[in-house]
Structure 1
Amino acid sequence: MGDISMMPWGHAAFGYVLFSLGHRFVTRKPPAGLGIVLAVLFGTQLPDLVDKTLSWGLHLFPQGYSIAHSILVAIPIGLLVLGVATAKSRFKLGAAFTVGYWSHLLGDAILAVPKSGVTPNDRLFWPIVTLPPYEYETSLLGRVNRIFSEFSNEMLTPEHFIFLAIYSIPYLLAFLLWIVDGAPGIPYARQTDNK
């Protein structure tokens, strides 16, 4: 199997669950509002949007784990966002983004691919550690297409049906948590549509 656990929706689900549970722990209330959901989602996708574009699209780095995946960059950015958000009385938005961003790095560290010899340190300490170049060169769209094609081909084979069912459980749980939270973002969207 490839590195399927690091798909964008995996980062989004993981980040939302961490933020929701943290928010509930601190405030005793579920998170609310479209802005909060969008901040978490943007934070969870930012490292790949930056680093995959710089590597796969612009070929500035040998791998898709560089600047935005480095804790040497992510920690100061997260603290800066929290500081600015606090100064503007938007702490929850800053916290949502920061938890989303840092959860992406945590997810990558937890699920580093052992069979390819990659450790969490290899992915998180750019520029101190850099990964070797990819074995093949392709365009940004070509690489994205390849990843999604491999994912779908692997998931659609009979021997992976049980794996697919197990793989889907965390996403189902994240979705159920979002429902329990009151589907933050949806009531706001409905109010906007009715105006």
Structure 2
Amino acid sequence: MWPWEHAIVGYVVYSLFSHLVYRDAPNGLEAFAVVFASVLPDLIDKPLAWQFDVFESGYALGHSVFFAVPLAIVVGVLARSVGRPRAGLAFGLGYLLHLPSDILDTYVRGGELRYDIVLWPVHPVESIGEHTDFFGEFTRLFGHYQQELLAGDLSAYMWFQLSIAAFAALLWLYDGAPVLREFLRGCLRVLSSGR
């Protein structure tokens, strides 16, 4: 999955959870935590594989269930200790949703369930070819989407992605635009204190 797809899934799931359990929309810290955590496995593995050749593929440490679960627990405990348990939960949920999302994506795109992508180092994923660098690899992979978008001939999968993105944007607005809301409030405080 692409990072923005992970961010959308993470935000939508956490927002719906927050509404159902807490009867409240996510605040800015929670929204930031879930979105950041939902893309963090890619921020760890893709540059280390594509740019620095630390791993053979973009599915290694960050995508490993053996790393993800302890990380989610540690962040949750730390967040609770500073009085932010919901932010810790948002982080854990966002990070842990990334793993099954990638497994499901391998099935949707390739027709096979690839559990091995979350089992590093027990089952490392082999490279599928030469990587130039982070930007080159991203551009190569994004080229498929770009061609489809520019041609205007969108697949059912692309329409589904665009629909989910629109739903997430509407949900974010319904939630009061967390993160942006806190940023604007902070700017207003700074401006009003300067008078």
Could you tell me the TM-score, scaled by structure 1's length?
A: 0.89
Following superposition, the deviation at residue 113 of structure 1 comes to: 4.2
1:21 aligns with 2:21: no
In the other structure, the counterpart of 1:190 is: 184
> CA-to-partner distance for each residue in 1:76-134, whole Å, 9 max, x for gaps?
11011111111111111111111111111121122124665753311111111122222
CA contact (8 A) 2:104 2:113 kept: no
2:153 to 159, 171, 183: 159
1:134-153 paired onto structure 2 within 5 Å: 134-153=128-147
Aligned length: 189
* Separation in 1, partners of 2:66, 2:158: 35
Structure 1 moving runs of 4+ over 4 Å: 113-118
CA distance in 2, matches of 1:162, 1:175: 20
The amino acid across from 1:56 in the alignment is W
Flag the 1:120–1:134 CA change in 2: closer, same or farther, 3 A: closer
TM-score under structure 2 length normalisation: 0.89
* Contact 1:66 1:130 (8 Å CA) reproduced: yes
Q: Which residue matches 1:3?
A: none
Alignment equivalent of 1:71, drawn from 65, 74, 79: 65
Asked if structure 2 preserves the Cα contact closer than 8 Å seen for 1:69 and 1:124, the reply is yes
| TM-superposition CA deviations, 1:48-71 (whole Å, max 9, x none) | 010001110111111100001011
Unaligned 5+ segments in structure 2 are 191-195
Give 3-state SS (helix, strand or coil) of 1:159's partner.
Answer: coil
Residue range with higher mean Cα deviation, 162-171 or 104-113: 162-171
The one-letter amino acid of 1:142's match is G
